[in-house]
Every structure is written in structure tokens, then in C-alpha cells.
Structure 1
């Protein structure tokens, strides 16, 4: 395997089924496109079906579209039911969709938008689809986090929905930290089954529509610095693709760009923040997420053991 891992290193995906959320643009589009080109049957799970169809038309291979709005538990349940009716297996679930630095808003179920979309939406979707993955050897749940999980980030159990005060960067950080904690706790629960694994990835600084809500004070400096500190969506998708397809990947690992400060570069194994490995917080977040989403996972209760950090 090349040290500079690229899409050329993706093994043939013929016969595999991949569901990619937020796949009509940016990182999700590049992830889905690469998987389809390597032979996977890919489902673009998107909020806007028309945009999804246009994206699918630009891809080569077996690509279909499924309506899925991660800001609505009803839509998530309907989308999962539709996927269950048309698929008999899922090899890859790529939890890619997300929002970033949004003004204070809520989902249709009253959750803070970033936490509700980035974490709770994917938590619910994974739980509703997991039994299509458990019988499939080598299946993977890949959840996209961010270096933002280190910035002003904590799981604010006393105000998860930011009702008392709201900071868009801190709320984003909480949601991305939750993505990692979900991955690590899910892996702990999956381990006894031995078929499906949970892995996380982050794209570094990629030039996508996700940053459209960046506060105005930072927008101009970022525009000037973009050529230096950002990479293309195709490069930003590589950590996700490696996490999803590299045969050497292990459950509970985290992949990101290999350059300085993980801003850009070819994907490699990286380490998340110390607090992301806190088992007690992971398990408390899991319990709260089950209560908020109403979704219970078809996996055994995890033992209260520490999850090893990756180097």
C-alpha cells in the first residue's frame, strides 16, 4: 500500500453496497463517486432528491438516490424504512452529511441544529440500518468528524441544546466530538459480533460548501489563505475513503490528512483529543442519544472498559 494513499489504492468494490449521506456535493459527492467507480452500488442519501439525481447523473456506475433529511427523525425513519425495503445488505454506511457554524436554529424535533444533524441524525440512522450490516463480514460504519472537535469542545449535558446560551463554534465542536465518541462507543458494542466495525475520519481543511456559515469576520482572511491552508474536496474525501476501504483498517481508528496539523495531505492514521476517549462520557452520551432519538441499537451492551487510543 502506498504511503501516499489515493483512490488508486481502493480495492475493487464490486458486489458491495454503500450508503453515503450528504452525497450530492462536496466530500460526500467525491466519496460516493470514488466508490461507484470502483464497482460499489452506491446510494446517495440526500435531503434534496433533485440535487441528488443531478449528482448521480455525473457519476459512473450503479448510483441511486434516497430521500433523507437528517434534521427530521420522521424523515430518518422513513428513509431507513425505504432503504430496508430495497436493500438486503449494507457493506458501508458513510455518515458524511453535516452543517457547520450555523446561526442558532433547531431541527424539526427541537434539537440544536448542529448537534441534531451531525450527531443525533446519524446516530438514529445507524441504529435503524445496523441489522442490515451485522450479517455482512467486513462491513463498516464510517463517521466523518472534524478537527473542530478540539475547539472549545465538550459534551454539555447540562445544556445539550444550547438553550441558555449559544456559540456556533462551540456547538459545532460539541457535535464533532460527539461523532467521535459515538464511533468509539459503537465499536466497543460491535466488537463481540466480529463482522462490522466503526471507524472515524476527518477531511482537514477542505474547500466545500460546509464553510458557508463561517462568521463574516473570518471569511475574508480565509479567502486569502484558502490556497495555502485548504485542499480540494477530492483530497478531503480520501481519509473517509481509506477508513471505508483499506483492508488494514481496524475498528475504532481515526483517519485524517497526513500533513502538518492534519490540515491537508494524503490520509493516515491520526489521534483524536484526549477527552474523546473518555469512556464514561461516551456511554452517557450514548444513553442520552437513545433517549432523544428513540432509537435502540441491535447490539449488546458494551463493557465499561477503556478504548485504546490509536498512535
Structure 2
């Protein structure tokens, strides 16, 4: 079954999808273009993005490829500025790009790499585009958020011993805290925009290939092959969060095996992910790190 059969028609809508060169992002872009949307594929490698886009050119919608490295705030600002200058007003921003369990590294801005990629770059992108969005921001998290422990005074792991999976889980917890606080701020501001979230469960993509550890990479790949869904099915919660009439701060994921497999349904989140004080504190820390505030204030 073509995945776009699962979503309503998207003709006349424009969607920006980060990390659209492969995996969940590519399947999200494919489904949206198949449903008639104009899709801006925001990718770290334009060459790779163009190769991926070639398979989408015959779909009912339109696709275009633009350069974006979400780990680099300069790249994020340049992407947002070019989009606005070109008169593009997206209906939906899908913050999908991510890395998982990578060796310790820092972004060009000096931020721990997984936090920079999975949270901070998307925090900045969403706020820069908020004045130009028509419908919603979609935040892609993970079941791994449940293991996340947020240390606001040690986000870069200088005092803690660095843990690749611990840093990943922390970044995914940040995603859900950002989701909740963004929706709170939109509501207080009287905005008609909404923020929704999703996770793909266990999906067979290349995200586990970035660990830098052959054993961890092999174990992750085996696990996803054993219980993982194909990428098009893992993308369905993201597609539903992007296209269905769900309330702000909704969080969707697969319905069975503890959220690892199945079809999109509303799912729960950890106690920490629902902590409003922690969400506000992370927002303030994110503003300090990026120099960007709510709606680019």
C-alpha cells in the first residue's frame, strides 16, 4: 500500500521536512508529495537530497531540495532566511532530522552534537519560521526519551561521563519538553498554530549506523531488522501528526509492543516529559545557547 493513501489530500499545502534525504524523512516527504503537497526537502547534502528527490518527481506534489545542517545554527539561520526571502510560507514544519548514539562531538557552535542536532537546531528553526507558518510544527521524538535525564547545568556532558545513548535519550526528552512548552506559548499568545509530536517506534533505518562502535551498530541494526517496521510504516505517526486534526501537544506513536510496532495512536510520555517547570527551564536555556526566542523574539 502506498503510504500516502493513509493521509488526507495535501494539495495546496507546503511542508518543510528536515533530514529528508533518507529514512523516515524521505518516507515522510514521499507520502506528502504523493498526497499532493509541495515538499521542501531540507538536507545536509544537496547531492544526496537530489538523488533521493529523483524518485519523487513523478508524484502528484512538488519537491525541492534545500541545504540545511540543523547542527549548525548558522546553516539554520541561512536556511530560514532564504525560505522567507523566496516567499515560501510553509503550512507545516516537520522537525525530523536526527542522529543517534554518536561518539562525543561538538557542533560548530560548541554544543554537544546530539543535543545540537536533535533539539537546539530545531528549536531555532521552529522559532525563526513561526511568524511565517500557517498550521503547525511537528516534533519527532523517540521512546528513548523515557530513559532521558536532563541536566540543565551539564547539557554538554563535561561533568558527567559521556554516554552515547544517555545523550540521545536526553535529546529526545528535550524534544517533548520543547513540544509542550511551544504549545503552551502558542496558546498564551492566542495563536492558531499548533505543535504536535510523534515517534516512529522501532523502524529499520540507517540511524543506528552512526554510533562509531561496530558492536553497537551491529546490535542496533539486528534489533531493527528483528522487530523493526519498514520506514514507510514508521513514518505514519509523523504523517498523522502533520496532517490529522489532532490537538496541540498531541503525541502519536505505534499502538503495540510497548510502542515499537503498529499503527498511529495517541501515546503517553514520561513524567519528566510532562513537567511544565522543566519545559520552561529548558526553553530558557535553549534561548541562552542560541540567542533565539519565541517566534524569533
Tell me which interval the TM-score lies in, with the shorter structure as reference length: over 0.9
Q: 1:53·1:65 contact (CA, 8 Å) conserved in 2?
A: yes
Whole-Å Cα distance in 2 between the matches of residues 223 and 9 of structure 1?
27
- Within-5 A mapping of 1:143-292: 143-151=139-147, 153-164=148-159, 165-192=161-188, 193-214=190-211, 215-247=213-245, 249-292=246-289
Q: 2:199·2:252 contact (CA, 8 Å) conserved in 1?
A: yes
Q: Relative to structure 1, is the Cα distance of residues 107 and 220 closer, same or farther in structure 2, using a 3 angstrom cutoff?
A: closer
Bigger CA drift: 6-15 or 96-105? 6-15
- SS of corresponding position for 2:26: helix
- Give deviations 1:225-252, integer Å, cap 9, x for gaps: 44431111101100000011112x1100
- SS of corresponding position for 1:258: strand
Q: Relative to structure 1, is the Cα distance of residues 219 and 74 closer, same or farther in structure 2, using a 3 angstrom cutoff?
A: closer
- Give deviations 1:158-179, integer Å, cap 9, x for gaps: 2111122211111001100000
Whole-Å Cα distance in 1 between the matches of residues 274 and 78 of structure 2?
33
Whole-Å Cα distance in 2 between the matches of residues 169 and 226 of structure 1?
16
Aligned to 1:3: none
- SS of corresponding position for 1:109: coil
Query: Is residue 2:33 matched to residue 1:29?
Result: no
Aligned to 1:308: none
Query: Is residue 2:40 matched to residue 1:53?
Result: no
Cα RMSD for the two superposed structures: 1.9
TM-score normalised to the size of structure 1?
0.89
Q: 1:66·1:83 contact (CA, 8 Å) conserved in 2?
A: no
Aligned to 1:11: 8
Aligned to 2:292: 295
- SS of corresponding position for 2:174: helix
- Give deviations 1:233-275, integer Å, cap 9, x for gaps: 101100000011112x110010001111100111111011111
Unaligned 5+ runs, structure 1 = 1-5, 301-311
User: Cα distance, 1:89 vs. partner?
Assistant: 1.6
Whole-Å Cα distance in 1 between the matches of residues 179 and 35 of structure 2?
26
Bigger CA drift: 265-274 or 94-103? 265-274
TM-score normalised to the size of structure 2?
0.93
Q: 1:189·1:299 contact (CA, 8 Å) conserved in 2?
A: no
Q: Relative to structure 1, is the Cα distance of residues 263 and 84 closer, same or farther in structure 2, using a 3 angstrom cutoff?
A: same
Q: Relative to structure 1, is the Cα distance of residues 221 and 169 closer, same or farther in structure 2, using a 3 angstrom cutoff?
A: closer
Aligned to 1:307: none
- Within-5 A mapping of 1:126-141: 126-133=126-133, 136=134, 139-141=135-137
- Give deviations 1:125-151, integer Å, cap 9, x for gaps: 001111001xx3xx1100100011012
- Within-5 A mapping of 1:298-309: 298=295
